[in-house]
Chain A
């Protein structure tokens, strides 16, 4: 998985609780991304980062925030989880043209 880890790999949480997902890379790549993947929608970009403390919104950013205090770590936070945020979340990194993906986090909001 090109030196990308995600934690946790699985999580079940209740509606209204905060959740933080972590992405860690060992490749020293500049760009990092958070996607969600749902049936019928493919991969949709939530937020991305183009450097430490430099982030921007993707197409489905509502209800999510991110932080990148170090090159290697990119955190995705759901401030108050909702059932519509039940999904599989993928982190990706890029140092050039291709994006390399992590193994994913399956999040269930009950």
Chain B
């Protein structure tokens, strides 16, 4: 069955460094992915999305890369700041009832 997973449950980076959070998916037919950020005590917040006809998409300090060959996507955060400390999820729509699969999340800690 389909699954969306994350490689590492925790990640610690120094402030100012770049962060890379990875996500694997199993359904080669998936054509759309979303990254969410969830701060402690809050609901998930949409960060950026990417469609399968793209390899890369950039936002403000964030870049998502999609490698369809190995069914892998990553979220890169440039110049990581303390406010970036959160849990990051990837999500993959099921397109059944507009449902989504969510990964379990990677907890990013930024060290000042």
Footprint of B on A, CB under 8 Å? 1, 4, 31, 33, 40-43, 45, 48, 50, 56, 58, 90, 92, 94, 97-104
Taken together as a complex, chains A and B put the C-alpha atoms of A103 and B102 apart, in Å, by 17
In chain B between 80 and 112, which residues have their CB closer than 8 angstroms to a CB of chain A? 89, 91, 93, 97-100, 102-105
Contact A50-B98, Cβ < 8 Å, known A40-B104, A43-B89, A97-B49:
yes
Q: Please tell me if the beta carbons of A98 and B34 are within 8 angstroms of each other in the complex.
A: yes
* Secondary structure type dominating chain A contacts: strand
- Is B105's CB under 8 angstroms from A45's CB? no
CA of A33 to CA of B98, assembled, Å: 10
Interface size (B, Cβ < 8 Å)? 21
B43 within 8 A of A: yes
Residue of A nearest to B102 (CB): A43
Given contacts A48-B97, A58-B99, A98-B34, contact A41 B46 (CB under 8 A): no
Q: Which of B32, B43, B98, B102 contacts A94 (CB 8 A)?
A: B98
**B67 at the A/B interface (Cβ < 8 Å)?**
no
A42 touches B42 (CB 8 A): no
Chain B, residue nearest A56 (CB)? B97
